[in-house]
């Protein structure tokens, strides 16, 4: 049957139509196969960052539209389920980054606990180390009294790494009674903040003796060591346990180099009954926020001393070691009265100098 031409072509012959349709289908199949091979089924289609298949990403809008109707190609093996969302990177706490060797910088300390022995310095150190803005050396380096010849580089190498926002601190109680320590610390930095934990000098001397006795049980009695002549009331100030308690005399050496405003005095007695209050004043002195509060402490009746409550990072409460809070040896009350008379003028002078009454009388 003939066709009339009215401006448009007639339908193609059936055989030609089949050929055309076959060629078009083959072309689309080849295009899809090429995109699949190039984009997701070989090493060239893997992500440079995550090494994951990068499927269904054609080079143009047409390819995108076509490939959206197809399944993404899968890696060899069984078809995996949708991958879980990546876990967020762990957040590094400023208070606990000792495991990283690259986080922070080792700096010379900006603050020192310089004394006094058996006054409560270990408690202050352990308490303040809980603060996220303070990083403290756990051991006593004795740099400014025994190891000064090793140099500041050696001293700095001992310090924990800190961030710019953190304070580096160390504790060595013998500094307070070391004649050279004030000038040496001043030469390191005249801006160093100094913390001195003080305690009733008589109680402190008995505690000092008790500690020594636990290590050297053959030493003379406390009474024998305290006096050159007990009958005449002559106290032996050459004995370290007695000499350390002359706070007013030792303080004069420090005031030659540091203003009083740069020295903070902690009451060892108040630290026991009100640790949060004393540590609040320490935090104010260091210029950090009051992080340590009542909720961090509880009173240990066995030790007769406050301990730190368990925290998120610790499953157990934290108390000082067995050498802390030990029972003192019994001393003749008359000896105690004689020593109180001896220390009284030194205590009064100390109160006047620092502007605090520690009520040791």
Q: According to the annotation, is 207 in a ligand binding site?
A: yes
Q: Is 118 annotated as a binding residue?
A: yes
Three-state SS string over the chain comes to CCCCCCCCCCCCCHHHHHHHHHHHHHHHHHHHHHHHHHHCCCHHHECCCCCCECCCCCCCHHHHHHHCCCCCCCCCCCCCCCCCCCCCCCCCCCCCCCCCCCCCEECCCCEEEEECCCCCHHHHHHHHCCCCCEEECCCCCCCCCCCHHHCHHHHHHCCCEECCCCEEEEECHHHHHCCCHHHHHHHHCCCCEEEEEECCHHHHHHHHHHHHHHHCCCCCCHHHHHEEECCCCEECCCCHHHHCCCHHHHHHHHHCCCCHHHEEEEEHHHHHHCHHHHHHHHHHHHCCCCCCCHHHEEEECCCCEEEECCCCCCCCCECCCCCCCCCCCCCCHHHHHHHHHHHHHHHHHHHHHHCCCCCCC
Query: Is 325 annotated as belonging to a binding site?
Result: yes
Q: Is residue 328 part of an annotated ligand binding site? A: yes
Confirm or deny that 199 is annotated as ligand binding: yes
Q: Which of 117, 118, 171, 193 is catalytic?
A: 118
**Do the annotations mark residue 156 as ligand-binding?**
no
Q: Is 327 annotated to bind ligand?
A: yes
Query: Does the active-site annotation cover 118?
Result: yes
Residues tagged active-site: 118
Residues annotated within a binding site for 3'-phosphoadenylyl sulfate: 118-122, 199, 207, 324-328
Which residue ranges are tagged as binding site?
118-122, 199, 207, 324-328
């Amino acid at each position: 049957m003939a066709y009339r031409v009215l401006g448009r072509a007639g339908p193609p012959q059936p055989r030609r139509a089949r050929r055309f349709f076959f060629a078009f289908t083959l072309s689309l199949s080849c295009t899809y196969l090429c995109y699949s091979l190039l984009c997701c089924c070989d090493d060239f289609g893997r992500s440079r960052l995550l090494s994951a298949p990068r499927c269904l990403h054609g080079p143009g809008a047409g390819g995108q539209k076509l490939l959206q109707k197809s399944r993404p190609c899968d890696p060899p093996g069984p078809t995996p389920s949708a991958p879980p969302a990546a876990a967020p990177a762990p957040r590094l706490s400023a208070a606990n980054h000792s495991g990283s060797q690259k986080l922070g910088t080792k700096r010379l300390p900006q603050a020192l606990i310089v004394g006094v022995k058996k006054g409560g310095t270990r408690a202050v150190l352990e308490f303040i180390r809980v603060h996220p803005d303070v990083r403290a050396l756990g051991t006593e380096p004795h740099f400014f009294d025994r190891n000064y010849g090793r140099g500041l580089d050696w001293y700095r190498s001992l310090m924990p790494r800190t961030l710019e926002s953190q304070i580096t601190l160390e504790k060595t109680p013998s500094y307070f009674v070391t004649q050279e320590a004030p000038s040496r610390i001043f030469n390191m930095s005249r801006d160093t903040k100094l913390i001195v934990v003080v305690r009733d000098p008589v109680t402190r001397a008995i505690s000092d003796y008790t500690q020594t006795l636990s290590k050297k049980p053959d030493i003379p009695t406390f009474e024998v060591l305290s006096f050159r002549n007990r009958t005449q009331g002559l106290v032996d100030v050459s004995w370290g346990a007695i000499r350390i308690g002359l706070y007013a005399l030792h303080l004069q050496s420090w005031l030659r180099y540091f203003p009083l405003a740069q020295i903070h005095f902690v009451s060892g007695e108040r630290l026991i009954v009100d640790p949060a209050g004393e540590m609040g004043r320490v935090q104010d002195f260091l210029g950090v926020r009051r992080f340590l509060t009542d909720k961090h402490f509880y009173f240990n009746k066995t030790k007769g001393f406050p301990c730190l409550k368990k925290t998120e990072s610790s499953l157990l409460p934290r108390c000082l070691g067995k050498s802390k809070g030990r029972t003192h040896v019994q001393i003749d009350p008359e000896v105690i009265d004689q020593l109180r008379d001896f220390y009284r003028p030194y205590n009064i002078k100390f109160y006047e100098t620092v502007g605090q009454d520690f009520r040791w009388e």
